[in-house]
Structure 1
Amino acid sequence: MSETIHDIRRRLKQQSVTPAEINALKQDQRAGVQRLIQSYERKRLLAQKEAERFEQMAAYEKDLRSQGKEWIAGVDEAGRGPLAGPVVAGAAMLTDDFFYPALNDSKKMSPAARKACYTYIMDNALATGVGIVTAEEIDAMNIYKAAQLAMVKAIENMNQRVDHVLVDAMKLAISTPQTKLIKGDQKSISVAAGSVVAKVTRDELMERMAYRYPQYGFHEHMGYGTKKHLEALKAHGPCELHRKSFQPIKELIEQKA
């Protein structure tokens, strides 16, 4: 008796099939089986491509380890562009056998994928750290310097010896050797992990702030200048989370002065 489509689906989902069994299933004339095989092979190809991309992104870490560097951290920030909220940096130090193929630049991941990745990083990284610089501090020093400061704080908050730092697109005022990587969150697994830590941490913070300031809808836009956010700003004016040196907030304040 032929195996049921339900059982085939279950085995494919559990990946408990051999290459020979896959070849046999390809000869099955049932349309439902053929759809299952096509879906299985698409997912397998995607997983293979993700694994290959991950290995390419691990090249900087492997090269540094070949030079005798053992404690390698990647750092990135989230929140340079929003009109409200802090800029948050994340730092991550990964084991040499760390493997999470879906890890990517946090901006390219869905919220659910980021959250799952964040949980895996927190459970499996050698160390992680977070640095937060408030809106008030951003106004006092400018966003670029604030992002640099957040990164330094994130590295310091790992409470871990660091031999080398991989930094996304910035040079930091630290004594530890560092490598500045343009689009580092797409080139280094450590920087990408830092970007996930930063993004998830900041999003959760803004979601909590939405309860304190419900009129702005921070949980929907995380402080970015969406149409809804701009309309709320015009209706209610800025709150303490808003960056007063950013337009159009600066202009709104000047108009009311």
Structure 2
Amino acid sequence: MLCGIDEAGRGPIAGPLVVSGVVLLEQIDGLNDSKILSEKKREKLFDEIKEKSKYHIVFTSAKTIDEIGLSACLKNSILEIIEKLKPYCDEFLMDGNTSFGISSLKWKIKADATVPQVSAASILAKVSRDRYMYGISEKYSKYNFEKHKGYGTKAHLEAIKEFGRSDEHRFSFKLKALDENIDNNLTSQAIIDF
């Protein structure tokens, strides 16, 4: 049996990284890359996937991303998924182009659109993250997280210019649009072209 793994939230400047692993126990029709599906379709499939699979979802906070870096957070999440789901499968496949140095992990570009287990993981990760961003949007109403989910839209960047970053923002993601410079001594930092 195959466990598909995918993430949501690698690129945003606010909110968590969410990584999901799925072992399908039954066939599910309509699976695809979560970014291609409508929100309504993703929500419907989310519940069906949870009913018809063994799955594990890992959230990593913006604070932890700042502390140890995105790659380490991805690797730790994948290792947790492997540990939790290895009783149900004998193969692990991640969407993308790297195994993060994990010997038992295979990878495939566009797996989220071509491998049902990875499509399912993509949907669980995206819906879980979107729900989280909706959930915090009232507390952080100045930033309109419910609209952009933490990605670097023009409106989001304008809100950061006006109000600064919240504790849900990634401080290690330096933004060219805000004329922020990277500190070469901090390996967890990334320059984001917004």
* Superposition TM-score tier, normalisation by shorter sequence: 0.7 to 0.9
Q: 1: CA distance between counterparts of 2:100 and 2:2?
A: 15
Within the alignment, does 1:225 sit opposite 2:152 as a pair? yes
Aligned-partner Cα distance in 1 for 2:28–2:63:
38
Larger radius of gyration: 1
Q: Secondary structure at the match of 1:251?
A: coil
| Alignment partner of 1:240 out of 167, 173, 181 | 167
Runs of 4+ deviating beyond 6 Å: none
Q: Which has the higher strand share?
A: 2
SS of the equivalent of 2:138 reads helix
Cα distance between partner residues in 2 of 1:209 and 1:160: 34
C-alpha separation between the residues in 2 aligned to 1:154 and 1:232? 35
Q: Which residue, 109, 116, 119 being the options, matches 2:47?
A: 119
Q: Unaligned regions of 5+ residues in structure 1, if any?
A: 1-70
> Residue in 1 aligned with 2:113?
186
Match of 2:161, as an amino acid? K
Q: Which whole-Å deviations, capped at 9, do the CAs of 1:225-257 have from their partners, x for residues lacking one?
A: 0111111101110011110011227929x9xxx
Q: Alpha carbons of 1:250 and 1:145: their partners in 2 closer, same or farther (altered >3 Å)?
A: farther
Aligned length: 179
Change (3 A) 1:215 1:111: same
Does the alignment pair 1:251 with 2:162? Answer: no
Structure 2 match to 1:52? none
Structure 1 stretch 147-156 or stretch 83-92: which is displaced more?
A: 147-156
RMSD in angstroms over aligned alpha carbons?
2.1
Alignment of 1:19-38 (within 5 A): none
CA contact (8 A) 1:77 1:151 kept: no
Paired residue type of 2:39: P
* Cα distance in 1 between the residues matched to 2:56 and 2:23: 9
38, 41, 63: which one pairs with 1:136? Answer: 63
Residues 59-115 of structure 1: per-residue CA shift (max 9 Å, x gap): xxxxxxxxxxxx3211000011100011100110012x4131x11000111111111
Verify the 8 A CA contact 1:152 1:173 in the aligned structure 2.
no
Q: Distance in 2 between matches of 1:192 and 1:178?
A: 17
* TM-score when normalising by structure 2: 0.84
Counterpart among 146, 149, 160 of residue 76 in structure 2? 149
The question of 1:98 aligning with 2:27 is answered yes
Q: TM-score, normalised by structure 1?
A: 0.64
- Aligned residue in 2 for 1:77: 7
Matching residue of 1:89:
19
**Aligned partner letter, 1:85:** G
Query: In the alignment, what sits opposite 2:187?
Result: none
Q: Distance in 2 between matches of 1:234 and 1:163?
A: 48
Question: Which amino acid in structure 2 is aligned with residue 122 of structure 1?
Answer: K
Structure 2 portions without partners, runs of 5+: 184-194
More deviation, 128-137/242-251: 242-251
1:204 is aligned to 2:131: yes
Checking the alignment, whether the CA contact within 8 Å between 1:184 and 1:191 is kept in structure 2 is: yes
- Over the matched positions of the two proteins, sequence identity in percent amounts to 35
1:120-176: CA deviations, max 9, x gaps?
A: 101111x0110111111111222233223223333434474431101112314556x
- Using the alignment, how far apart are the partners of 2:142 and 2:52 within structure 1? 38
SS in 2 for 1:114: helix
